[in-house]
Structure 1
Amino acid sequence: PAVFYSSAGRVLSPELVEEAQTLFATLLDRSREFLHAPPAPVPSVGEYLRTEIARQLEQWRGDADAKRLTLAVLNTCFKLECCVSGTHSMDLVALGPFGEYTMLPGLDCTFPGGYGGLPDCLLRSLPEGSVMFHKPVWAGSYREGGHEGRPFPVQVECEDGERFLADHVVVTVPPIGFLKEHHETFLHPPLPPRKADAVRRLGFGTNNKIFLEFEQPFWPADCQLIEAVWEDESPLAEAETDLQAGWFRKLVVFVVLQPPERRHVLCGFLAGKESEYMETLSDAEVLTVLTDVIRRLTGDPPLAPPKKVLRSQWHSAPYTRGSYSYVAVGSSGDDIDALAQPLPEDAADPRPLQVLFAGEATHRTFYSTTHGALLSGWREADRLLGLYDPSESHQHKPRL
């Protein structure tokens, strides 16, 4: 169950909202049909969607107010899809490869206690002390280094000066966000041109969560989703560019966290440049702005403000610089495969698989997802297992 509040302080008709959402979903499905077709008619998903909406607008029935509200709901759909794709605008997402992304069947899984439950579970199977925290890596180099009477092809240098020698290194920093800024200095020698070009071409955006806790809920008891519709906006009109004046307009969806017995919490999603701007504000500033927004949407000026705000700040984090990847205009799934290719690239090199790459941006069909990140790690582990045949004896056990 969902409630759609508009900027005029009213609840929109479920029928009108459903009609607009159905149209958007239909057009979005069609935008995935250009994967194996002739060249896409336009470069981006956003341009395709707007073209189709404008074409169908002439056939719409109803009065001018209904058409205006329908366009406003469609604009909300655009913003929500930006959160899904992790981009500032759907105009940045390539149309041709868009259909390559695959939806994993089944429901979303929420880890008890948050994402920390996943690594905590994995760590229980590892020897104590085998994982180091708060140990930033300054650079990695794949070159011969002698130690313990034999050479090691890889050396990892940490910011505190400590160095580690290894047979193989798996790089799992966000391959796009971090490497876009540091790929020329983080690895020595630098990434080969094909891989560096893939880093530059692929897209990487920010999608933050903002949690608001209320003393009492203002939403209906059965409500699970709240969406905001700004009646003066349309996907066919120029978007707001003044981040300071309108960053909050990109925050269009709130999920009602369950169960609500003890706390009444909304989780909002905010993507793009607006999300990055939000990170520059203080908690108090965010709370003040969103209090005004919610009062306007509900048409309830004296509505009690949230008592607490909690938010992610993925763009500001130095080792992420954003949230997750997308296939940008000018790139393709081939760039994802290039990014996932181990180093050295020469298959005839006597010391193969010195540097391997994992992370959501290295999975061609599940990029931007947790399961894509997990599967990419399994892929690289299998790659190493295939290198060391357990039926043969080896003089040393590889350091991973």
Structure 2
Amino acid sequence: MSMRGSVVIVGAGMAGLSAAEHLIRSGFTDVVILEASDRIGGRINTHGFGEYQGNSALIELGANWLHGSHGNAVFEVAKEHDLLDPYVLLDRMAGYAYTEDGRRISKSLTEKVWQVFQEVEMTLQDLNPLDANANSSFAIYMANELEKRLLEFPENQHADVRALFNCMLNYLSFHSAEDLEKLPLKYAACFRELDGGNIKLPKGFKSVLDVIVKKLPENCIQYNTKVEYIYYGSTQSRTATITCKTPTGKRMFEANHVIVTCSLGVLKSCHSKMFAPPLPPNKVKSINEMGFGTVNKIFLQWKTPFWKQGEGGLKFAWKTRNVGDKKTYWYKSIFGFDEILNNDNTLIGWIHGEAAEHLESMSDEEVKGQCTALIRQFLGDPNIPTPDAIVRSAWKSNELTQGSYSYVSYSSSPSDIKCLAEPVYMSGAPVILFAGEATQSDFFSTTHGARESGIREAESLKNYYQKKALANKL
């Protein structure tokens, strides 16, 4: 169908690649992806770190797992291309939980508390926005519900149970990309969890991207091409002009349609200078008020692991939660350290919110030192060696992301997600379209949400041209 217009896609992350794949499958012949960096993936970033069985061992600086299998668009790609062998589900509480005075909490108690925590977390899914206290947060709700469930345990276990709850609240925080105090309770149910657990990708998340890219024409992706300005004001031409910065100077592209897939963090900081005319006021309001949080990872590597395989999961059960100075006590926001599939010498630590942002201002040596001190303290072993290497993510200070993923904040509502997803029309044509995890109402913050959003916008362009062709025949 050569009658179909030209499409420029901004960003080669999961949303942009999925949009391009779907457009090309639908008969569009003029599709270009403009990618500001030198790689595909966006907030998916599989990275080599160490060795495993003679090959480069992998770590995920960004997206880590497939969240659920039932109805997960990314899981379907992985399954179709045999990327799930061996099939490994995440065990969130693998390894052991430790107290800050260097004591290991029994596995049976940890598992019982985890069961209770998950039951309370599931009740968030059933909350009616009209019933929930408008001022209440995830933090208040979880604390109150967990306090009630404390009565199910003997009194001599209460201190350990509370410490385990604190550990699990750190897990829920990095899962949500923000300190729980900043998450409004009334919208807790708008995110939809998929069944099937969290599934690991043995060949790394990049293996999924690679099979999508193989379906795109050669030179479809223009790397190191940073979009600076999108002018879409001409009613006569019905085209948009995109001005880009490249290593060799400015470059211009023209297209009938632009699908913008950059992160909400980038839209927050750049929308006013990126679009001409400015985006509609309701869309600007939604961009400004939606939440965009930060999660970072700390990878520590030892030449010789100090742990037994299968027991390297170290969960930090703090006596008190990190609700004070997040900069001074940033390390209290670390959930703990986990083992990594197919990378025997490395542990991954998780940190969220304000503490994760502060982490980016610190040196590798400071972070390595503090993490070593924590591991020695919680394991009660002053002889644990300092790691030989460290790699960290820094999503907040990365100008191409400016954070990790979106959430519904106190100043926003689920309707803002729908508003962000609305195309901008000129003379009845969808000229500027929006995709990315922040535009997906049920699955924001996930890679399957990003994939669905890219397919959604590609499908809307396909429908637009089918209706146009039908109207021309009549």
1:63-91 Cα shifts (integer Å, max 9, x gaps): 4x63222212111111110110111x112
Cα distance in 1 for residues equivalent to 2:222 and 2:209: 13
Q: For the Cα contact (< 8 Å) 2:125–2:188, is it kept in 1? A: yes
- Which residue identity does 1:93 align to in structure 2? L
- Alignment map for 1:6-155 (pairs within 5 Å): 6-35=99-128, 37-40=130-133, 42-55=135-148, 59=151, 62-63=154-155, 66-87=157-178, 89-111=179-201, 113-144=203-234, 151-155=237-241
Q: For the Cα contact (< 8 Å) 2:132–2:185, is it kept in 1? A: no
Cα distance in 1 for residues equivalent to 2:188 and 2:211: 34
Cα distance in 1 for residues equivalent to 2:180 and 2:465: 44
Q: For the Cα contact (< 8 Å) 2:97–2:164, is it kept in 1? A: no
**Partner of residue 191, structure 1:** 279
- Which residue identity does 2:157 align to in structure 1? A
Q: For the Cα contact (< 8 Å) 1:199–1:339, is it kept in 2? A: yes
Shift of 1:117: 3.0
The answer to whether 1:355 aligns with 2:432 is yes
**Partner of residue 65, structure 2:** none
The answer to whether 1:241 aligns with 2:325 is yes
Cα distance in 2 for residues equivalent to 1:81 and 1:332: 20
Normalised by the length of structure 1, the TM-score is: 0.86
The answer to whether 1:5 aligns with 2:93 is no
Shift of 1:357: 0.4
**Partner of residue 383, structure 2:** 302
The answer to whether 1:170 aligns with 2:278 is no
Identity of aligned residues (%): 30
Cα distance in 2 for residues equivalent to 1:371 and 1:323: 15
Q: Which of 343, 353, 376 pairs up with 2:424?
A: 343
Q: For the structure 1 residues 224 and 340, does the alpha-carbon distance in structure 2 shift closer, same or farther, using more than 3 Å as the test?
A: farther
Shift of 1:110: 4.2
Q: For the Cα contact (< 8 Å) 2:99–2:163, is it kept in 1? A: no
Q: For the Cα contact (< 8 Å) 2:326–2:355, is it kept in 1? A: no
- Alignment map for 1:203-222 (pairs within 5 Å): 203-222=291-310
Q: For the Cα contact (< 8 Å) 2:242–2:252, is it kept in 1? A: yes
Shift of 1:177: 1.0
Cα distance in 2 for residues equivalent to 1:68 and 1:257: 30
3-state SS of 1:337 partner: helix
- Which residue identity does 1:11 align to in structure 2? R
1:324-351 Cα shifts (integer Å, max 9, x gaps): 011112322111101100002xxxx524
Q: For the structure 1 residues 51 and 107, does the alpha-carbon distance in structure 2 shift closer, same or farther, using more than 3 Å as the test?
A: closer
Q: For the structure 1 residues 37 and 171, does the alpha-carbon distance in structure 2 shift closer, same or farther, using more than 3 Å as the test?
A: same
Q: For the Cα contact (< 8 Å) 1:24–1:74, is it kept in 2? A: yes
Q: Which of 304, 309, 312 pairs up with 2:393?
A: 312
Cα distance in 1 for residues equivalent to 2:342 and 2:205: 18
Q: Which runs of 4+ in 1 moved over 6 A?
A: none
The answer to whether 1:293 aligns with 2:381 is no
Q: For the Cα contact (< 8 Å) 2:134–2:184, is it kept in 1? A: no
Q: For the Cα contact (< 8 Å) 1:44–1:329, is it kept in 2? A: no
**Partner of residue 80, structure 2:** none
Shift of 1:322: 0.6
3-state SS of 1:277 partner: helix
Q: For the structure 1 residues 74 and 109, does the alpha-carbon distance in structure 2 shift closer, same or farther, using more than 3 Å as the test?
A: closer
Worse-superposed segment, 328-337 or 161-170: 328-337
3-state SS of 1:240 partner: coil
1:119-138 Cα shifts (integer Å, max 9, x gaps): 33222222222211111111
3-state SS of 1:211 partner: strand
Cα distance in 1 for residues equivalent to 2:428 and 2:380: 67
Cα distance in 2 for residues equivalent to 1:299 and 1:362: 46
Q: For the Cα contact (< 8 Å) 1:204–1:322, is it kept in 2? A: yes
Shift of 1:93: 1.3
1:216-254 Cα shifts (integer Å, max 9, x gaps): 3333333363211123x15xxx723151x3211211232
**Partner of residue 269, structure 1:** 350
Shift of 1:272: 0.9
Q: For the Cα contact (< 8 Å) 1:32–1:95, is it kept in 2? A: no
Q: For the Cα contact (< 8 Å) 1:34–1:40, is it kept in 2? A: no
- Alignment map for 1:366-381 (pairs within 5 Å): 366-381=443-458
3-state SS of 2:329 partner: helix
Q: For the structure 1 residues 321 and 78, does the alpha-carbon distance in structure 2 shift closer, same or farther, using more than 3 Å as the test?
A: same
Normalised by the length of structure 2, the TM-score is: 0.74
Shift of 1:35: 3.1
3-state SS of 1:144 partner: coil
Shift of 1:116: 3.1
3-state SS of 1:35 partner: coil
Q: For the Cα contact (< 8 Å) 1:145–1:165, is it kept in 2? A: no
Cα distance in 2 for residues equivalent to 1:8 and 1:167: 63
Shift of 1:98: 1.2
Worse-superposed segment, 303-312 or 115-124: 115-124
Cα distance in 1 for residues equivalent to 2:412 and 2:467: 39
Q: For the Cα contact (< 8 Å) 1:145–1:155, is it kept in 2? A: no
Q: For the Cα contact (< 8 Å) 1:213–1:266, is it kept in 2? A: yes
Cα distance in 2 for residues equivalent to 1:381 and 1:55: 48
Q: For the Cα contact (< 8 Å) 2:202–2:342, is it kept in 1? A: no
Q: For the Cα contact (< 8 Å) 2:296–2:350, is it kept in 1? A: yes
Q: For the Cα contact (< 8 Å) 2:140–2:181, is it kept in 1? A: yes
Q: For the Cα contact (< 8 Å) 1:145–1:152, is it kept in 2? A: yes
Q: CA RMSD in A?
A: 2.5
Cα distance in 1 for residues equivalent to 2:228 and 2:222: 15
